[in-house]
Amino acid sequence: MSDEVGVARIDGRTARALRTREAIVAAHLELLRSGDLRPTGERIAEAAGVSLRTLWTSFKDMETLFAAAGEHLIDLQQAAYRAIALDLPLAERISAFCEQRAAMLEILAPAARAAMIREPFSAQLRRNRAIQISRVRDEIESLFGPELAAAGGGRQELRDALLMATTYAAWAVLREHLDLDAKGATAVMRRTIAALLGAG
């Protein structure tokens, strides 16, 4: 067998393994979206159209599957993300930011809802949450830099208040406990951010 044929076979196996992993991650997330918040390996494998053995060959445990699912959700968010011009007036930055945060949170919501059940027992789900919070914190620091600077000694407190109002925990209260639709929840978020930044 030539080196070229051997490499082609290896590349083919690698591509198949990648497709299998992607199918398993997609099946896992689809089960969460459908309301199955604690899908078993058996249900994930069935939804992905693979054997249970293939599932555990592709992912050594649920923690590695949670890590891959978290990365996939970030990829989906990145695909939907649009940079907001930093030189826009404050009111326009607030509006654009809240519209975009709503879109990001709707992408995240099914997995975040499920994660709340398992987070106490999963270091990876806690890492996934920390990554999401860090991403929002960085965006707030960038987009509202002048307003944070103007807060002086209250800068960190203001940043943390903005962060608290725009993470999944607050979104879940608006969407699930107050039963608002996405438009209504976005309006509440916008009002909150505007008030915090003195643009109300």
Concatenate the DSSP letters of all residues of 39-63 into one string. --HHHHHHHHTS-HHHHHHH-SSHH
* Confidence at 199, pLDDT banded by 50, 70, 90: confident
User: What is the model's pLDDT at position 13?
Assistant: 84
Q: Please give the average per-residue pLDDT across 69-75, as a whole number.
A: 97
Phi and psi at residue 40, in whole multiples of 5°?
-80, 165
CA distance 47 to 140: 38
**Checking phi first, is residue 74 left (phi over 0); if not, alpha (psi -120 to 50) or beta?**
alpha
CA distance 198 to 8: 61
User: What is the model's pLDDT at position 9?
Assistant: 61
Better-predicted residue by pLDDT, 41 or 12:
41
Better-predicted residue by pLDDT, 13 or 187:
187
The two structure tokens encoding residue 146: 């002048």
Q: Please give the average per-residue pLDDT across 40-68, as a whole number.
A: 97
